[in-house]
């Protein structure tokens, strides 16, 4: 099944959504809105910041106000929206949770397709369209048709190299957020996608899907940047996404901490 790429039918794309909301991959816009290619979100902002006169400069707090000029507009809008919704004034917190949500969507649609159908939709940043104002599953749609073989190297090429690396570069250029934290988010999001697929497979009598998803995830987690981000077999992460630093925030199920730290570092 993994030897060569095959196309994904419209029915198969719709079938991805049966696993869960994060696996939904529409082939047309889910509704009206400012959808733009994710390539636009990863691009360097044009022109200097009005506040500083320097391109790529961002403060450490209040991303909903001053960080926008240091990020491309779609990404700035999303970081601001996350900050406002969670009530945080820390750039690194809003940036981390923005990236975590997008990483979860990217791994879900690609790992899901690879495990179910043996093919990976080539969701390049130019063909995957994003509305930063919308929530899952209406945030993304795919205008492409190309596929890749459902192998770990192809998943790495499509998601890790194509999206997560440029996304991390854009967020880190705009303000202080740890690269180790962002790759920890990526590993955590991959583990979350595996758990959802495994639950679906067990409910529907598809052990083959669970086995393929687990094998692909294991290979990905042994590769560059993701190695060491989570601890098997439970895939508990070795870093924290910082959600605990939001008002009323707690710990995620796979958090490195057993209890929220008492004081901010």
Q: Is there a domain that residue 131 lies in?
A: yes
Q: Please identify which residue in the block is written with the tokens 């009206």.
A: 32
| Predicted TM-score (pTM) of this structure | 0.89
Q: Is there a domain that residue 3 lies in?
A: no
Among the ranges given (62-76, 126-140, 232-246), the one the predictor scored with the smallest mean pLDDT: 62-76
The pair of three-digit structure tokens given for residue 146, joined into one six-digit string: 């190309």
Contact between 157 and 150 under an 8 Å Cβ cutoff? The reply is no
Q: What is the per-residue pLDDT for 61? A: 40
Q: What is the per-residue pLDDT for 33? A: 80
How confident is the model over 163-189, as pLDDT tens digits?
Answer: 999 999 999 999 999 999 999 999 999
Q: Is there a domain that residue 153 lies in?
A: yes
Listed residue (182, 165, 174, 89) closest to 80, CA to CA: 89
Q: Is there a domain that residue 258 lies in?
A: no
Find the mean pLDDT for residues 133-147.
95
Q: CB count, 10 Å around CB of 202?
A: 12
- The helix (H) or strand (E) run that includes residue 121 is strand 119-121
Proportion of the chain above pLDDT 70, given as a percent: 88
Q: Is there a domain that residue 183 lies in?
A: yes
Q: Is there a domain that residue 53 lies in?
A: no
How confident is the model over 21-53, as pLDDT tens digits?
Answer: 999 999 999 988 889 999 999 998 765 433 323
Taking the CA atoms of the chain, what radius of gyration do you get in angstroms? 18
Q: Is there a domain that residue 9 lies in?
A: no
Q: Is there a domain that residue 4 lies in?
A: no
How many structural domains are present in the chain? 1
């Amino acid at each position: 099944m993994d030897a060569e790429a095959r196309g994904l039918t419209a029915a198969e794309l719709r079938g991805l959504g049966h696993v869960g909301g994060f696996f939904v991959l529409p082939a047309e816009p889910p509704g009206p809105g400012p959808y733009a290619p994710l390539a636009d979100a990863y691009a360097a902002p044009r022109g200097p910041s009005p506040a500083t006169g320097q391109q790529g400069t961002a403060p450490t707090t209040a991303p909903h106000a001053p960080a926008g000029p240091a990020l491309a507009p779609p990404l700035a809008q999303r970081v601001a929206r996350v900050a406002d919704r969670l009530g945080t004034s820390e750039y690194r917190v809003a940036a981390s949770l923005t990236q975590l949500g997008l990483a979860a969507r990217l791994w879900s649609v690609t790992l899901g397709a690879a495990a179910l159908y043996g093919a990976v939709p080539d969701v390049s940043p130019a063909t995957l369209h994003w509305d930063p104002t919308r929530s899952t599953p209406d945030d993304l749609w795919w205008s492409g048709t190309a596929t890749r073989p459902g192998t770990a190297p192809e998943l790495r090429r499509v998601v890790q190299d194509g999206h997560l690396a440029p996304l991390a570069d854009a967020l880190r250029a705009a303000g202080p957020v740890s690269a180790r934290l962002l790759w920890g988010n990526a590993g955590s999001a991959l583990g979350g996608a595996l758990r959802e697929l495994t639950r679906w497979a067990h409910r529907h009598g598809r052990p083959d899907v669970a086995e393929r998803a687990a094998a692909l995830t294991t290979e990905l987690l042994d590769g560059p940047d993701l190695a060491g981000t989570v601890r098997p077999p439970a895939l508990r992460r070795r870093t924290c996404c910082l959600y605990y630093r939001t008002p009323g925030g707690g710990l995620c199920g796979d958090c490195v901490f057993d209890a929220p730290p008492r004081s901010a570092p």
